[in-house]
Amino acid sequence: MAKAIQLAVLKVLMIIIFGGWITVWIQKPTNMWTRKWKGAEDSSRYTVFGYYGLNFAVYTFPLISLTIIGLVYLNLVSREPPRSRPARSATIGFSNPVLVNSFLGILSSIEILAVFLFVLFLAWTYYARISNDFKKLMPIKSLKLDLWQLKYLRVATRFGLLAEACLALLLLPILRGMALFQILGIQFEASVRYHIWLGTSMILFATIHGASTLFIWGVSHHIQDEMWRWQKTGRIYLAGEIALVTGLVIWISSLPQIRRRRFEIFYYTHHLYIVFLIFFLFHAGDRHFYSVFAGIFLFGLDKLLRIVQSRPETCVLSARIFLFPSKAIELTLPKDPRLKYTPTSVIYMKIPSISKFQWHPFSITSSSNLDDHTMSVVVKCNGGWTSTFYDVMQAELDSDTGSMSCMPVSIEGPYGPASLDFLRHDSLLMIAGGAGITPFLGILNEIASVNSSRYRFPTRVQLIYVVKKSLDICLLNSVSSLLLNQSSTQLSLKLKVYVTQEERSNATVRGLVNDLSLVRTVNFSTECSNYAVHGPESPLWMAAMAALSSIKFMVSLMCFNHIFLPHEKKSAVTEKMVVPSEKKAAKEKTPSSVVDLLLLASFIITLACSTFLASILRWKRLKKDIPPVSPKQGKATEHGSVETRSPVEEHELHFGGRPDFQDIFSKFPNETGGSDIGVLVCGPVSMKESVASLCQLKSQGLNIGSRGKKTYFSFHSLNFTL
């Protein structure tokens, strides 16, 4: 009861803080806010915190405090004892698809509402700013512009503010350790598309802003004078141009045509975000930078803490190599017995022998309830990095060295959903296409491992698996015991396999799953590392680091400003005694770039101190308790078939066509007897859209299931990474 009250209080606090932060952004373009904010800045200028303290407190700290409270909330949720599946609420339909579009993807009502409100906010911001500008048009002394040129220049300037609003949210969806979206039950892989939308919008607005400004300079014959200016105070035009060009390079390299075919180009050019953010600071100034600084602050801290968490390197224990045509590898890694993770969790892995810088995500296929000392992932080799890894493994297999040398790897994660509510349905209909089977392997292992007296998980599951070739079914080997020996578990699992590019044969699901002749298992030496995967620190630990980092940043910034900007120490009385011309001269003594550099230096020092502290704590934790990793060393071994005792072939194998989802949806309620059905889909985009469209139609109409009951389909789209 006490924990429920704590969770409710934290929810209320998060709503209040987020609402207050949104209110600030809504009022920011108004004349009333501008007048009051200018007076507040003047009043705080001569306090110990200065105007920068006020900007940090109003624009930056609300999101940081929201993250801190959210992490405390997730810490309480993770310690909450398992509970039964809650009753179906009237709002569950908000998670179901409302719009299915090949361009926008699959959108729920909540996502549509959020997008609509954000677009409405952008329209309001632009209208409020531009209407005020047109009422108070002031000629620019350095530029002799006509009236239309002056108006168009203001239009271009205000598009820059829209880009700033997008930048304020841009980095929040790609946080992992300090993920705000995890509070809403949205995993990192799903929230990446919000990052893509925001990034595209930001580049669009920034391009209009920059191109329109250059156009006005060109038609007024001032482009040579203005384009290369690095002003002492105010907007630094050259810095803005560098930021825009850098942003365009990042965006172009992120296009699907480049990202999928030349991942290395996408990966390395994306790190130019550091250049973009630095020159954006010089262009916009520190006051505008505080508006977007929350996401930058959290991203920088999150990034460095993840690097610390991935140290030291661990080692691969064994690998099961699926030969042609599947070309997949199942890796087994050591883990701390205390490390627990939820199904559909993802780890990020770097193999220095393949690439010293590239990190790649992989879905975990094992269950932490079944495997205390190991965890498994499947690597589907269909890209540049994964194909190189497969070739290295093949070369090791073909060599006659007699043993496999140690293969060090760096692991970051696992990251997964905070709760398992998406599994608490009467029945589950899981639809996978190709490599999209990997999240379901972990789900099946998790369901089979739980104690029914503690959990309310579905006992009836149907898995629809669509593959191109029948031998691709070998990816089901890790759950072969569940498929072939169901009498030993309480789970009723039915598998329907659809092979799209082969004609009918006499093969059976049992025979294909049980045929391991094309799989070779190798054990690796563990002499290079005896560290196991510990996983990320607790949410409470992350919240403490975020709070300490905020304090360190403000202390560093205050010290730098009071040391390098001594004129700010003037008292308000002394300021009033100075004549306006002298006051103006005093303000212009310090270039804007110097103030920006002080902010940048404070941020770097804060990150360095936080990284140093996290490294010490990490080292002490590992030194105190190093989980033993049993060394495994040996030759590659061949696997033969495995005997099974199940006498009846209950699974289905179909050749030469794709599944009829409408027929499957109609029959499934009668086959399982459940009224609340969870539909989980993972695979190609076209498959997700087809299933989502069908769920959308089912939710809009009256669905009568078995025994005359209403049947509710809850749609969940999963993302696979391998």
What confidence score (pLDDT) does residue 700 get? 59
Q: 452 vs 133, which has greater pLDDT?
A: 133
DSSP 478: G
Task: Indicate the helix (H) or strand (E) that contains 38.
Answer: helix 31-44
Above 90 in pLDDT, residue 76?
Answer: no
Residue with the two structure tokens 């997964």: 416
What confidence score (pLDDT) does residue 486 get? 61
Above 50 in pLDDT, residue 512?
Answer: yes
- Rounded distance, CA 282 to CA 597, Å? 8
- Rounded distance, CA 23 to CA 453, Å? 47
- Dihedral sign from CA coordinates of 154, 157, 163, 167: negative
pLDDT band at 200 (very low <50, low <70, confident <90, very high): very high
For 102, half-sphere exposure in the C-beta direction (CA atoms, 13 angstrom radius) is 1
Q: 35 vs 371, which has greater pLDDT?
A: 35
Per-residue pLDDT reduced to its tens digit, 345-376: 889 998 888 888 888 888 888 888 888 888 89
344: left (phi over 0), alpha (psi -120 to 50) or beta: left
What confidence score (pLDDT) does residue 688 get? 85
Angle at 239 between CA 270 and CA 22, to 5 degrees: 70
Which tokens is 114 given? 């959020």
pLDDT (mean) for 529-553 = 88
Range with the poorest average pLDDT among 309-313, 348-352, 619-623, 644-648: 644-648
- Rounded distance, CA 697 to CA 256, Å? 30
What confidence score (pLDDT) does residue 515 get? 60
What confidence score (pLDDT) does residue 640 get? 45
DSSP, collapsed to helix, strand or coil, labels residue 415 as: strand
Above 90 in pLDDT, residue 278?
Answer: yes
Contact predicate 322/438, CB 8 Å: no
Q: What is the rounded end-to-end Cα distance, in angstroms, of the chain?
A: 41
Above 80 in pLDDT, residue 338?
Answer: yes
What confidence score (pLDDT) does residue 627 get? 52
- Phi/psi at 454 (nearest 5 deg)? -105, -30
Highest mean pLDDT among 15-29, 226-240, 316-330: 15-29
Residue 348, CA distances (Å) to 186, 358, 437, 535, 538 in order: 18, 10, 18, 11, 18
- On the question of a cis peptide bond just before residue 631, with omega within 30 degrees of 0, the verdict is no
What confidence score (pLDDT) does residue 513 get? 67
Highest mean pLDDT among 81-85, 444-448, 624-628: 444-448
pLDDT (mean) for 227-243 = 81
Which ranges of 145-262 would DSSP assign to H, the alpha helix? 147-170, 188-219, 223-227, 237-253, 256-261
pLDDT band at 704 (very low <50, low <70, confident <90, very high): very low
Per-residue pLDDT reduced to its tens digit, 668-692: 777 766 667 888 888 888 888 888 8
Range with the poorest average pLDDT among 145-159, 377-391, 665-679: 665-679
Contact predicate 509/464, CB 8 Å: no
Above 90 in pLDDT, residue 59?
Answer: yes
Q: Look at residues 422, 439, 498 and name the one whose alpha carbon lies nearest to residue 678.
A: 422
What confidence score (pLDDT) does residue 303 get? 92
R_g of the chain computed on alpha carbons: 29
- Phi/psi at 373 (nearest 5 deg)? -110, -10
Which tokens is 516 given? 């391991």
pLDDT (mean) for 488-493 = 67
Above 80 in pLDDT, residue 177?
Answer: yes
Which tokens is 406 given? 């140690």
Q: Look at residues 167, 168, 158, 250 and name the one whose alpha carbon lies nearest to residue 213.
A: 158
pLDDT (mean) for 160-176 = 93
Which tokens is 361 given? 């995500």
pLDDT (mean) for 225-230 = 73
What confidence score (pLDDT) does residue 298 get? 95
Q: Look at residues 156, 147, 151, 150 and name the one whose alpha carbon lies nearest to residue 212.
A: 156
How does the average pLDDT of the chain come out, rounded?
A: 80
DSSP 339: -
- Rounded distance, CA 53 to CA 30, Å? 22
Contact predicate 672/710, CB 8 Å: no
Highest mean pLDDT among 243-252, 538-547, 633-642, 670-679: 243-252
pLDDT (mean) for 690-708 = 65
pLDDT band at 98 (very low <50, low <70, confident <90, very high): confident
- Rounded distance, CA 69 to CA 540, Å? 9
Highest mean pLDDT among 141-150, 343-352, 703-712: 343-352
Range with the poorest average pLDDT among 27-36, 587-596, 624-633: 624-633
Cβ contacts of 47-50, under 8 Å, gap ≥ 24: 48/558, 49/554, 49/558, 50/558, 50/561, 50/568
Above 70 in pLDDT, residue 539?
Answer: yes
pLDDT (mean) for 625-637 = 50
What confidence score (pLDDT) does residue 304 get? 92
For 24, half-sphere exposure in the C-beta direction (CA atoms, 13 angstrom radius) is 17
Q: 326 vs 171, which has greater pLDDT?
A: 171
DSSP, collapsed to helix, strand or coil, labels residue 499 as: strand
DSSP 104: T
What confidence score (pLDDT) does residue 577 get? 46
pLDDT band at 16 (very low <50, low <70, confident <90, very high): very high
Above 60 in pLDDT, residue 628?
Answer: no
What confidence score (pLDDT) does residue 82 get? 47
- Dihedral sign from CA coordinates of 457, 687, 365, 410: negative
What confidence score (pLDDT) does residue 93 get? 47
- Phi/psi at 147 (nearest 5 deg)? -60, -45
Give 299-327 as a DSSP string.
Answer: HHHHHHHHHHHT-S-EE--EEEEE-TTT-
DSSP, collapsed to helix, strand or coil, labels residue 175 as: coil
**Cα diameter, the chain:** 98
Percent of the chain with pLDDT over 90: 25
Q: 107 vs 612, which has greater pLDDT?
A: 612
Contact predicate 314/532, CB 8 Å: yes
pLDDT band at 207 (very low <50, low <70, confident <90, very high): very high
Per-residue pLDDT reduced to its tens digit, 545-604: 999 999 999 999 999 988 887 654 444 444 444 445 444 444 445 678 889 999 999 999
- Rounded distance, CA 539 to CA 305, Å? 12
For 437, half-sphere exposure in the C-beta direction (CA atoms, 13 angstrom radius) is 24
DSSP, collapsed to helix, strand or coil, labels residue 650 as: coil
What confidence score (pLDDT) does residue 586 get? 43
